[in-house]
Amino acid sequence: MLHKNPARAQSFELAFGQAHVFYPDATDERYLRHRRSLMSQAMAQLMEEDTPDPDEVQETAAEEEWAIEERISLNEQRIGAVVAALRASGAKRVLDLGCGEGKLISALLKDRDFSEIVGVDVSYRSLEKAQDKLRLDQLAPAQRERIKLLHGSLIYRDKRLNGYDAAAVVEVIEHMDFARLAAFERVLFEFARPKSVVLTTPNAEYNVKWESLPAGKMRHRDHRFEWTRDQFQSWATGIRERFGYDVRFLPVGPEDAIVGAPTQMAVFEENETYTTHTSHTSYKTYKRNS
């Protein structure tokens, strides 16, 4: 498979040796389009054995993160910062990758400057909840036409994601292991390639400020890593160099003089004069310190 489709494959180094990631096209699901149950099984088999069900993760673990962050309404501040960054980019057609139950979509819907809003999530249940919470069946036709909800994985190339002005990735990457993160980078920055990307992730340095969070623990049981500011900026700089995006960093939430803000945000803007290349760097550099 790899030697027949070299453009859809990538090699990278892990602690135990070299591994390969193959990027199937999302349109490959045409063979299963009439069998939703088979599609679900096929998607599940593509995930590692130790990967929890996405529906169960979002329902049983999100409460932990909410309890930690509720005191300062961090989620509201995060959504507001993302909306402001998207508005500043001039985007009209926006992707919400890992949209969950649609909180960002709801905020974007209030701004008529966003003419098309597409939410994508791997969890059917989350998309169903988003549909209910957004009350899509009650919206006026003009409003309803602005929203589309898509089921799909973020680690496989998907032609449905091409051609958008901007993408938001809000508290998503920390749920990926490093092999999936490598795949996601290419899916977003090489294949979908929106003009702007607004991406947020926790700042691990700030965790010492949460009284309810035991020392050395992460904010969510499904987080595979939480990065310091230096680690996040190192990763984002690698994105800039490999895929031809300029990047700037912004704090989100109350900023401490020593440990920074609870959320860190990167705003990527496509550099049209840059010739992209796909050379790979080791992800060991960005792993959370033990």
- Pairing assessment for the beta strands 116-121 and 93-97 based on DSSP bridges: parallel
Question: pLDDT tier at 62 (50, 70, 90 boundaries)?
Answer: low
Distance CA 222, CA 174 (A): 8
The pLDDT score that the predictor gives to residue 42 is 47
- For the chain, what is the radius of gyration of the CA atoms? 19
The pLDDT score that the predictor gives to residue 277 is 47
The pLDDT score that the predictor gives to residue 9 is 57
Residue 44 has pLDDT above 70, yes or no: no
Of 6, 26, 17, 290, nearest in space to 179 by CA: 17
Residue 35 has pLDDT above 70, yes or no: no
Class of domain 52-286: alpha beta
pLDDT of 182-192, one tens digit each? 999 999 999 99
The pLDDT score that the predictor gives to residue 280 is 46
The pLDDT score that the predictor gives to residue 211 is 84
Residue 284 has pLDDT above 60, yes or no: no
The pLDDT score that the predictor gives to residue 286 is 46
Residue 146 has pLDDT above 70, yes or no: yes
Residue 74 has pLDDT above 50, yes or no: yes
The pLDDT score that the predictor gives to residue 273 is 81
Higher pLDDT, 137 or 44: 137
Give the pair of three-digit tokens for residue 69. Answer: 């962050």
Give me the amino acid identity at 256. Answer: D
pLDDT of 212-263, one tens digit each? 888 888 988 899 999 999 999 999 999 999 999 999 999 999 999 999 999 9
Cα–Cα distance list, 188 to 49, 193, 268, 275 (Å): 25, 6, 11, 16
> DSSP string of 69-113?
HGGGTHHHHHHHHHHHHHHHHT-SEEEEET-TTSHHHHHHHT-TT
Distance CA 287, CA 290 (A): 9
Of the listed ranges 46-60, 159-173, 214-228, 261-275, the one predicted with least confidence: 46-60
Cα–Cα distance list, 288 to 3, 138, 164, 206, 214 (Å): 34, 45, 32, 14, 17
The pLDDT score that the predictor gives to residue 50 is 47
Question: pLDDT tier at 58 (50, 70, 90 boundaries)?
Answer: low
Distance CA 191, CA 94 (A): 16
Give domain limits for the chain: 52-286
- Identify each DSSP E strand in the chain by its residue range: 9-14, 17-22, 93-97, 116-121, 147-151, 166-170, 196-202, 245-252, 263-270
